[in-house]
Chains A and B, each alone.
Chain A
Amino acid sequence: MTAILIIAGKEIRDGIRNRWIVGSTLVLAALAFALALLGSAPTGALGVKPLAVTIVSLASLSIFLVPLIALLLSYDSIVGEGERGTLLLLLTYPVSRGQILLGKVLGHCSILAIATLVGYGGAGLAVGWGQTHDVQSWAALGLMLGSTIMLGAAFISLATLISVCVRERGTAAGLAVGVWLLFVVVFDLGVLALLVTLPKGVEPEVFRWLLALNPADVYRLVNLTGFENVRAFSGMAGLADSVRFAPSTLLAILFGWSAVPLAVALFIFRRREL
C-alpha cells in the first residue's frame, strides 16, 4: 500500500511540476464559468433554477472534455516510462507491477479529481450561491462532480490499458484519440443509425444495455436523468422513462468501466517481459 501511495504521490507532484493540474483546472473552470454565466442569464427571467441548468450544460461539456483530459493524462503512463528508459529501473525495485500501475492510476485520478472539484465545484458554488434551500440541486451538483471523476477514472483506466499494450508512445497516442472518437462521437452516431435503420426500432431493454456499453452515455444518463429538476431541462425526460436504470446501477456500471480495463491492464502488465 505504501508503495502505491509513493508512486501516486510522485505522479501528483509531476502533475504540479508540469502544470497538468493547473492547466486542466483552469480549462474546466473557464468553461464551467462561461457556461454557468451564459446558461443562467437567459433563464433567470423564467424563474428556472439556474444551478440545475448549469448542471445540464456542464454534464454535456464534460462528456467531451473529461475523457480527453483523462486520455491525455494517462496514455503514456507506462509506455512513456518504457521509452524514456525509467521503467526498467523502476521494475527492479521492491514494488510489484500491480503497485506501479495502481499507483499511477491513483495519481492520475487524483489530478483529475482536483481539477474537477476546483474547476466545476467552483463554478457550481458561484452559481448556486444563495440557493441554499434547493437541496435537490445541490445533490445533483454533488452527483455530477462524483460521476465526472468516475468518468475520468474510466478513461484513465482505458488509457492505462492502451499504455501497457503498445510498445511506442506514438501508437498509444493514436489509440487514445481513437478511443475518444469511438466513445464520444462514433458510438452515439452508430446507435442513432441503428435506431433509424431498424424498421421496428430497438427494444427498450436492448437499447438501455446498448447505452451501458459506452461510459460516456452512462455518465450522460446518470446526470441528465438522476434528478427530477435536472431531467426537466435536459430533454431526456422521454428517454429516461424507457431506459430507466436506478442511479446506483448506473454508477455501478460506470465503476465497472474503471475496474474492468484496469484489471485487464494489470493482467497484461504482470505477464509482460521486458
Chain B
Amino acid sequence: MSAIIVDGVSKRYREHQALTDVSFSLPQGSLLALLGHNGAGKTTLMKLFLGLIRPTQGVVQILGCDPAQGSRDFRRQIGFLPENVAFHDEMTGRDSLRFFARLKGVGTNSCDGLLERVGLTHACDRRVKTYSKGMRQRLGLAQALLGNPRILLLDEPTTGLDPVLRLEFFGILNDLTKAGTTVVLSSHILTELEAHTEQVAIMRQGRLVAWGTLPELRRQAGLPTRIRLSVTDGLHDVARELDDLPQTLLGSQGMELSCATEDKMHLLRRISGMNGKIADIEMRLPSLDDVYAHFGHGTAISRNGEENPS
C-alpha cells in the first residue's frame, strides 16, 4: 500500500511557480530523501503533505486522505519537524513537549521517554532559550515522534547536529521505518544520507528530475566509476595496454581510469591479469554528491525560464 501518492501536482504562488507536475508514490515503511537546492520545492512539497497549502493542480494523498481536509485523525498520524524549528523561549523543554503532547491527544507519560530517546533528559528542565541549535533540533525530533506517527516529515533535520548525533538520529529513523513508519526527509548535506536512504528524489526548479534508489540513479546518470592504479613498474606499458579507456597519468607511479559502471568488473579482471605491475587499486563509485550534481545542475536555466541542456 502506498503511504504517499503525489499525482501531477503543481503549486503556484502569485508570481512564483513553486512546483510543476510532480508525481510519485511511496510505499509504507520506506525512507525517502528529498534533495534539492533552496527553492527547489522541497518545503512546498512538505507543506502539501501537511495540508497547510492546497495544490493548484493535481492530487496529494497521504494514508488515503486528502491532507488539506485537515481531519484530526489524519493529523494525529503525522509527525513534522520544520526547518529551523522554533519553540517558545520561556518554556522549558519538558513543558514544551508536554504542551504538544496534550495538543496531539497523547498522554504526557510518553514525554520523558522521548526526551531520553533524543538525549535531552539532562536539559529538560532548562528553558528553551538556553538550548543550542542541536538541542532545539532534538526537541523538535521528540515532538515529531509524539504518538508514534505513521508518517514522519523532516525538513532539513540534521542541520546543527554533530556527527555522533547524526548517527544516533539515523539509528532512530531506521528503527521507525522497520516498524512501518514512512519517513520523508529533505536535506542538502548528502554524504550522510548515502548510507541510510533507499529512495532518493531530486528536485530542481519545482520539478522532480530524478527518482529511484541510489544504484538506479547512478545507472541513469551514467556516471563513470573512477579507478586509481598505483603502478610499481612500467607505467607506460600499463597505460598503453589500457588505452581504450579515458585515463590520466598521475606522476610517474599512478594513473586514473574511468569506466562505465557496468564495465568495471571486466576492467578489474583485466587489471588483475597484469601480474606484478600493479601495487594497489583504489576504486571510487559515483557518490550521491556526483549523482546530485549531475541531476541538480545538469541543465542550465536560460533567462526566459526555458530549460536548455548545457
Contact = CB atoms under 8 A, between A and B. Distances in A.
Same complex origin of A and B: yes
Interface of A: 3, 6-7, 10, 14, 17-18, 84-86, 88-96, 273-274
Interface string B44-65: 0001001011100000000000
B82 A94 contact: no
Interface of B: 47, 50, 52-54, 70, 72-73, 75-76, 78, 80, 82, 84-88, 90-91, 99-100, 102-105, 143
A90 B104 CA distance: 10
A3 B102 CA distance: 8
B103 A93 contact: yes
Contact of B70 (A14, A84, A85, A96): A96
Given A84-B86, A273-B52, A89 B76 contact: no
A95 B90 contact: no
Closest 10 CB pairs of A and B: A85-B86, A94-B75, A94-B72, A92-B80, A93-B103, A94-B76, A92-B50, A273-B53, A6-B102, A274-B52
B106 to A, nearest CB: 10
A273 B16 CA distance: 14
Contacts of B102: 6
A17 B95 CA distance: 13
B157 to A, nearest CB: 14
Contacts of B86: 84-86, 89
For B76, B80, B86, B103, the residue with the greatest tally of chain A CB atoms inside 10 Å of its CB is: B103
B103 A89 contact: no
For A14, A89, A96, the residue with the greatest tally of chain B CB atoms inside 10 Å of its CB is: A89
A85 B84 contact: yes
B87 A274 contact: no
A86 B85 CA distance: 7
A6 B99 CA distance: 8
Contact of A93 (B82, B91, B104): B104
